[in-house]
Amino acid sequence: MQLKKTDCRCDVAGWCKTHRRSMSVVRWTECHDKPGFYEVFQAAKKSRGFGDTVARWIKWFTGGKVKPCTGCNRRKDWLNKKLPYPDEEQFEPVEPLDK
């Protein structure tokens, strides 16, 4: 077992209860070994839907220089309503595949 460099609690790739998402081997490695990625996945966990994700992307790409207006917030709410992220309870844990 390798030493962990972040607060990641998962031992293998697959469904992550902490981040409420499926983690590929690449994403799990980033979360487990690369400082900063655990926090990024934690922030993403709080998204209600795709509108929150788009808003976060815009904020990241612009360095926070573009402030959301009324139209931005309406678009975010509309996208969240049309493309919501599922709750953790809607998923059944999946066992990782053995290679």
Mean pLDDT, the chain, rounded, equals 80
pLDDT at 70: 93
Q: Does 81 or 34 have the greater pLDDT score? A: 81
**Three-class HEC string of the chain:** CCCCCCCCCCCCCEEECCCCEEECHHHHHHHHHCCCHHHHHHHHHCCCEHHHHHHHHHHHHCCCCCCCCHHHHHHHHHHHHHCECCCHHHCCCCCCCCC
Tell me the pLDDT band of 15, cut-offs 50, 70 and 90. Answer: confident
For the ranges 16-20, 36-40, 55-59, 76-80, the maximum mean pLDDT occurs at: 76-80
Tell me the pLDDT band of 71, cut-offs 50, 70 and 90. Answer: very high
